[in-house]
Structure 1
Amino acid sequence: MIHILCGLADNAALPSALVDRLIEAADADVGAALACRADLSHAQAVALASRVEESAVRLAHEGRLTTTDIDPATQPRAALALLRERVDSPEWARLLAADPVFEHRERLAACAGLPSDVVETLAADEDVRVVSELALWTTSEVAARLAGHPHAQVRRAVAANEATPPPVLAALLTSEGLPPARHCLVCDREETPFVHDPYCPLDECDLLPGASCDGTHQSTVHETQQLALRNPATPTDAAVRFVDHPSLLLRSALAARPDLPSDVYGRLAEDPHAGVRADLSENPAIDDALIRALAGDLGHDVQRRLAHHPRVPLDVLIRLAGTTKVGAILLPRIAAASPAEVEGLARSPEPAARMLVARRRDLRPEIRDVLAADPDASVAKSIASHPGLAEAQLRSMVDRHGVRVIAKVAANPDATPALLEDLTRYEPPVRKAFREIARHRNATGPALRACLADWQARPLAAGHPALPPQVIGELLTDADPRVVQAAAANPSLPIAMMSALVHRRDRGPM
């Protein structure tokens, strides 16, 4: 029954009176679905929030509740949600700063604009998780002070805070000018020296695999350096000192920075580990010469990620696309191509070039139509979902390329009802096409019935409003709970049946 009620709570056609009935008996699952409804009245939102605090949190985040609707003493998480949305309530902040539940104080520490006395209370909290959360989000002044905190975990959080002053980040990166940390999460719990077993059998242990401390808190210091290197506020002159560091993770973090001198990028391009060179290859700051050099790098993932570089020369990109799996997405350089470049790519003798530009969805009709008639299946597959293609063009693609393009043809927003029905009858069946048809706005009852035979498409088809009401009703007893929930959420479900289902929950367990 719970899947039916969750589906009904999602159903956009559910009458307001039945929404009220669901609110009266909502549990966390049903409440979560109800909280997503765009048509909840303010009174319904307040009633739901008073029953299910998880729902109150979402409603507060979305601005559908105010301070007059929430009692911070009994609904602390909802109150915190409002504070996270920068609702000014110093009294709430002071109350929650003394909350005995550390998770509530931790969430409070992430809120902006807290009163100074609340910040001081949180900075002195006995739980390091609360202080660390404050360090991650607090102001420049407070972050600078917390950089000298005796616990290494707090310093780690300061290193990730982009408001931390650059000289402080440099000090965290190099450990120069700061007093040594006295504690870390490892030595808080274990006698040192200690290295945490990566395959630790303890279910409740939350130490990271390989976490270690020999008195210098080395694993936390390493994480602090990694976060500082990824922090854009860290000074370049402090960061470049890590170009030859023995840690792969630190060199990789350095390789992603957009503010390094060209000679440092050159040294990183010769790094012995392909992971560093792959991180470098996506860096928008590297120049054309380095891009061309990395284009010949056969290290793992270097060429694929280079293809995603926003300024990769088109000739390099075409070569990469012909030899590397770059992913079936619109690449940044193709998205930024000029009209002249688009036309050149569309008329290129290289299928890879035509395939890349065919992934755009803003092509001029004459270019789109040329690509739609392309003899290469990879090009046709890329263009098949482009809006504006006529039914005859889509059918011609299927005739030429068969199963290789059917799923993409089925995903075309202009695919006609007749075409979609025909695609469900194609032999051999293309299972991915059923999923596309099941979510298509033009899908008909017969097409959706065919989709019900595929286990992945079945839940999608069950929620499609074109499915006949009788079939929707039958699916409410399906063995697959996903199908049941989708059918209950179907706006074509008769209101009488909705009412019967809502009232049925009174006669049995939810």
Structure 2
Amino acid sequence: MDQLLCGLAANPALPAELVDRLIAVADDDIAESLAARKDLSRAQAAAVAARVPESGVRLAYKGLLTVADVDPVTQPRAALALLEKRAGTPEWARRFAADPVLEHREKLAACPGLPADVRETLAADSDIRVVTELALWTTPDMTTRLAGHPHAEVRRAVAANEATPPDVLAALIGEELPPPRRCLVCDREAPPFVHEPQCPRPDCDLPPGASCDGSHESTMCEIQEAALRNPGTPTEAVVGFVDHPSMLLRWTLATRPGLPTEVYRRLAADPVPGVRADLAGNPAIDVALMRTLADDHDHDVRRRLAGNPNVSLDVLVHLADDTRIGASLLPRIAAASPGEVRQLAQSPNPAVRMLVGQRRDLPPEIRDALAGDVDAKVAKSVAPHPGLTEVQLRAMLDRHGVRVLAKVAANPEASPALLEHLTRHEPPAQKAFREIARHRNATARALLACLADRQARPMAAVHPTLPPPVIVELLTDADSQVVEAAAANPALPLAVMSDLVPQL
């Protein structure tokens, strides 16, 4: 990879004529960077795709290519991308349905809006992988037909397809359909067979633990799991799995909405912590069950409950005492009413004040009170809040030191002088250098200090405030990431850009 040219290809200040020169010499990596440009014209996009056909996929998804720009023979993946966007032609679809390349037929099978004759061709494909892909994405009428397919893998895909009618989903996990005759396991191995978790064969693609004793049991379990996960499966068809011996099926059931309270209650007593944790995060459980789960001995159960958007505020306050929730804005906190925000901000528990400090739309009086909090984790949570003055941020830094340094640096209104001050703080905080390096108010002096930090160096190299002579010097840096970042810097002198791009 030529890091210089890849960086230039991503440089937003690169003039159109230099973009054209880069297209003419582009390899796969340069084309990838060119395809990501926001100012690429349709003509340039077509030229990139013609130069490097693989880049046509991204350009097609971006809407920069049309049928007129793509040759399905030489650019099959770009043509398939257009078909996926419903921007291809029926003739293309018919061509790919008969394509000898399996990957192309598989990709076509996942495309929406295919003509009926194309779907029929794919449903009769000789390779089960194509039929399976069709079953995963096709229309309700086709899923109804494929639900009774003799291969269990096709039925698994039908069970996962959200377009599959509810009665068909219920039949897949009931006993209404004839049993399948084949599965991926018995396609490859004579039953009975259990696939080793640590299979030594490099060409084996069976999942660990896949098994078949003639009843295709592992795939049948996957069919049940897919149907339980499918929101279209009727509730009455899934509730019986609450006591199923398969942990995986109970685990899947725990995430479903709309189940009877008694089912959720029994899942809350499941011996597997993961089942209870997913149940705790389910917005459909009631407050009484939340109170039960709030005292669960497993930390992950309590943590997931804290992230439940419908958790009651008193339960959340209870959880804050002994649960490591992390520095993120919880859904329930984000949805708190003004009165609840005031209540949380006045809590005697600093862990609760920290939670509300993660909001970025606090009333000024609450924001200011939290900024002056005596607890470092509270101040740290609110430090990036817009509207804090430089005096407040410096006072926070004086009070709590390195513990709030990076979060003060992340404040979008931190002044240039403050950012320079943060680079000289002792002891330093490495995260602060990364925040400063990408801050819009960073000065040249602050960015030069950031260049001394290995992780912040590439971020500083692309910052447009960095002096042009320094950017040019970084083009020969020993770190390839820094070289690419410097080449992508919009402050790189035009004359240097022109010298770096090969002449046509």
The verdict on a shared fold, with TM-score over 0.5 as the criterion, is yes
Cα deviation, residue 88, structure 1: 5.2
In 1, distance between residues paired with 2:51 and 2:102? 23
Query: 1:277-324 CA deviation, whole Å, 9 max, x = no partner?
Result: 111101111111000011011124100000011121112112212211
Map 1:144-223 onto structure 2 (within 5 A): 144-174=144-174, 176-223=175-222
Counterpart of 1:365, as a letter, is P
In 1, distance between residues paired with 2:211 and 2:495? 63
Contact 1:12–1:489 (Cα < 8 Å) also in 2: yes
In 1, distance between residues paired with 2:51 and 2:88? 25
Secondary structure of 2:144's counterpart equals helix
State the partner residue of 1:74.
74
Secondary structure of 2:394's counterpart equals helix
Query: 1:415-435 CA deviation, whole Å, 9 max, x = no partner?
Result: 011111111111111001111
Map 1:285-304 onto structure 2 (within 5 A): 285-304=284-303
Counterpart of 1:26, as a letter, is A
In 1, distance between residues paired with 2:109 and 2:93? 10
Contact 2:419–2:442 (Cα < 8 Å) also in 1: yes
In 2, distance between residues paired with 1:404 and 1:167? 57
State the partner residue of 1:375.
374
Q: Does 2:16 align with 1:16? A: yes
Contact 1:143–1:158 (Cα < 8 Å) also in 2: yes
Contact 1:275–1:300 (Cα < 8 Å) also in 2: no
State the partner residue of 1:422.
421
Contact 2:299–2:323 (Cα < 8 Å) also in 1: no
Contact 2:195–2:209 (Cα < 8 Å) also in 1: yes
Contact 2:27–2:52 (Cα < 8 Å) also in 1: yes
In structure 2, stretches of 5+ residues that fail to align are: none
In 1, distance between residues paired with 2:21 and 2:190? 57
Q: Does 2:315 align with 1:313? A: no
State the partner residue of 1:339.
338
State the partner residue of 1:360.
359
In 1, distance between residues paired with 2:53 and 2:211? 39
Counterpart of 2:51, as a letter, is R
Counterpart of 1:96, as a letter, is F
Cα deviation, residue 202, structure 1: 2.5
Q: Does 2:488 align with 1:478? A: no
Q: Does 2:242 align with 1:267? A: no
State the partner residue of 2:348.
349
Contact 1:155–1:172 (Cα < 8 Å) also in 2: yes
Counterpart of 1:478, as a letter, is D
Farther off after superposition, 100-109 or 318-327: 318-327
Cα deviation, residue 386, structure 1: 0.3
Q: Does 2:79 align with 1:83? A: no
Query: 1:25-57 CA deviation, whole Å, 9 max, x = no partner?
Result: 111111011011111111111111111122111
Map 1:92-131 onto structure 2 (within 5 A): 92-131=92-131
Contact 1:132–1:153 (Cα < 8 Å) also in 2: yes
State the partner residue of 2:28.
28
Counterpart of 1:373, as a letter, is G
Cα deviation, residue 168, structure 1: 1.2
Cα deviation, residue 446, structure 1: 1.1
Contact 1:462–1:472 (Cα < 8 Å) also in 2: yes
Contact 2:96–2:104 (Cα < 8 Å) also in 1: yes
In 2, distance between residues paired with 1:203 and 1:454? 41
In 2, distance between residues paired with 1:375 and 1:183? 67
Secondary structure of 1:243's counterpart equals helix
State the partner residue of 1:258.
257
State the partner residue of 1:139.
139
Cα deviation, residue 200, structure 1: 1.6
State the partner residue of 2:7.
7
In 1, distance between residues paired with 2:389 and 2:129? 59
Farther off after superposition, 53-62 or 133-142: 53-62
Cα deviation, residue 365, structure 1: 1.1
Contact 1:7–1:489 (Cα < 8 Å) also in 2: yes
Counterpart of 2:160, as a letter, is A
Secondary structure of 1:40's counterpart equals coil
Secondary structure of 2:321's counterpart equals helix
In 1, distance between residues paired with 2:314 and 2:351? 11
State the partner residue of 2:44.
44
Cα deviation, residue 367, structure 1: 1.2
In 1, distance between residues paired with 2:43 and 2:275? 55
The percentage of aligned residue pairs carrying the same residue is 70
In 2, distance between residues paired with 1:81 and 1:314? 47
Contact 2:54–2:75 (Cα < 8 Å) also in 1: no
Contact 1:274–1:300 (Cα < 8 Å) also in 2: no
Secondary structure of 2:9's counterpart equals helix
In 2, distance between residues paired with 1:92 and 1:140? 23
In 1, distance between residues paired with 2:362 and 2:376? 19
Counterpart of 1:264, as a letter, is V
In 2, distance between residues paired with 1:444 and 1:453? 15
In 2, distance between residues paired with 1:480 and 1:120? 54
Contact 1:381–1:408 (Cα < 8 Å) also in 2: yes
Farther off after superposition, 472-481 or 284-293: 472-481
Cα deviation, residue 58, structure 1: 0.9
Cα deviation, residue 213, structure 1: 1.3
Contact 1:361–1:386 (Cα < 8 Å) also in 2: yes
Counterpart of 1:424, as a letter, is T
Contact 2:451–2:457 (Cα < 8 Å) also in 1: yes
Query: 1:191-224 CA deviation, whole Å, 9 max, x = no partner?
Result: 2211112112223322111111111111111111
Secondary structure of 1:503's counterpart equals coil
Cα deviation, residue 480, structure 1: 1.3
Counterpart of 2:168, as a letter, is V
Q: CA RMSD in A?
A: 1.2
Aligned length: 504
In 1, distance between residues paired with 2:173 and 2:499? 64
Counterpart of 1:382, as a letter, is S
Distance 1:251 1:57, change over 3 A: same
Counterpart of 1:17, as a letter, is E
In 1, distance between residues paired with 2:202 and 2:380? 47
State the partner residue of 1:392.
391
In structure 1, stretches of 5+ residues that fail to align are: none
In 2, distance between residues paired with 1:261 and 1:49? 54
Contact 1:159–1:228 (Cα < 8 Å) also in 2: yes
In 2, distance between residues paired with 1:185 and 1:111? 24
Contact 2:370–2:382 (Cα < 8 Å) also in 1: yes
In 2, distance between residues paired with 1:200 and 1:464? 48
Counterpart of 1:383, as a letter, is V
